[in-house]
Amino acid sequence: MIQILILGLLLGGVYALMASGLTLLFGVMRIVNLAHGALMVVAAYVSFFLFTELGIDPFLSLVVTMPTMFLVGVVVYRWLFTRLEGTDRYSEMTVLLTFGLALVIEGLLGYFFTGIFRSTSPGYATNSFIVGDLFIPRGQLYGSLTSLALILGLWLFLNFTKTGYAIQALTQNRTAAQIVGVNVRRVSTLSFGIGMALAGAAGSLLSYLFTFFPGQHWQWIALLLSLIVLGGLGSLAGAVVGSLLLAVLAAFVSNWLGSTWSPMTFYLALFIILLVRPQGLFGEKETV
């Protein structure tokens, strides 16, 4: 019982990292990034090859994946999204745009790296700490701690720096932020980069926590989107709480019904939350 709880919480920490980038993008720019999962998988491939070719530990490769993905984010934002600014139904257009992007990435990954299931295997990935009669998998513990550290860093950045305030201002009201002198385009680009950097970090962790292959990103994105709808689109706290909650729930479901059905937890939770509280746990009622 407690064992399952621990495993669920450890996974939940990593999910929270993945979801935080996604919810940040939605909160700041109303972009639902369907390519988030695909870009995570890209980062996982980077980590994989750094590990197999150069023997670089996945944690060390964070130093590479995060800045790289930050740059990718900046370029993608400037190159694709600024063109759509000002179109009506911006939010839906961005969904379709990132949908196309995800397909392109998936196809390219499949073409270059084939559909083989891969995973890095540093020593700690398979061993555990034993505490009493409980075991705590080392790899997952490290992953979870790193994730929480990054999320804490993001939170501190948002709440204690000027740029962080600017990002929050954009979340609340774009036009008003512009009026009080926030450089909307610069801050948006920056947030997109940060969101992507978080996806990059998540990808590095993913490379040893899970096996991955090109087409897998749809499962990831559906899971993550369920998490952030549950938490309330755009809410960082919601993303974290939603991740921990659902990861624990999924751990129990997988214990009862087998791991095949654990993704179902996320999808069903999404439908239930839409029935009961469409705006999500931490979301505010939509104002038009």
Partner 1 sequence: MIQSEAPDHAPLEVRPRETRRSRTVFGLILLAVLILLPLSRPLIGGPFNYVMQIVTIALMWITLATSWNLIGGYAGYISLGNNVFFGIGGYVGGTLLVYQGWSPFLTAPLAGLLGMAVGVIVGLITLRTRGPAFIIATIALLLMASLVFDNWDLVGGANGLSLPLPDWPRQWVRVPFYSAMALTALASVLLSWKVAHSKLGLGLRALAQDETKAEVLGINTRRYKIIAYALSAALPAVAGSIWGYFLTYLRPSVFFTISIAAQMVLMAIIGGRGTVAGPVLGAVLLVGVNEVSVAQFGSSELNIVVTGAILLIVLLFFPLGIVGSLRSRRRLPGFLDWD
| Interacting residues with partner 1 (CB under 8 A) | 26, 30, 32, 34, 80, 83-84, 87, 89, 91-93, 95-97, 99-108, 110-111, 214, 218-219, 221-222, 225-226, 229, 233, 260-261, 263-264, 266-268, 270-271, 274-275, 278, 286, 288
Contacts of 129 (CB under 8 A, 6+ apart): 135, 136, 138, 141
Q: In this structure, what token pair is assigned to residue 225?
A: 């989107």
Greatest extent of the chain over all pairs of C-alpha atoms, in Å:
59
CB of 36 to partner 1, least distance (A): 12
Sign of CA dihedral 87, 93, 94, 97: negative
Residue-level length of the chain: 288
**Min separation Cβ 142 and partner 1, Å:** 29
Residue closer to partner 1 (CB basis): 6 or 273: 273
Nearer to partner 1, 78 or 138 (CB): 78
- Quote the least distance from Cβ 60 to partner 1, whole Å: 31
**Would you say 121 or 172 has its CB closer to partner 1?**
172
- In angstroms, give the least distance from the CB of 137 to partner 1: 25
Nearer to partner 1, 30 or 78 (CB): 30
Q: Is the dihedral of CA 29, 34, 35, 38 positive or negative?
A: positive
Q: Rounded to an integer, what distance in angstroms lies between the CA atom of residue 223 and that of residue 266? A: 6
**Residue whose pair of structure tokens reads 């990002």 in the numeric block:** 167
Beta carbon of residue 275, minimum distance to partner 1 (angstroms, whole number): 6
Compute the distance between CA of residue 203 and CA of residue 113 in angstroms, rounded to an integer: 16
Q: Which residue has the tokens 């398979």?
A: 126
23/146 with CB nearer partner 1? 23
User: How far is Cα 134 from Cα 128, in angstroms, rounded to an integer?
Assistant: 10
Task: Supply the angle between the helices 90-113 and 36-54 in degrees, to the nearest 10.
Answer: 30
For residue 23, count other CB atoms closer than 10 A to its CB. 29
Report, in Å, the least distance between residue 169 CB and partner 1.
21
82 vs 159, which CB is nearer to partner 1?
A: 82
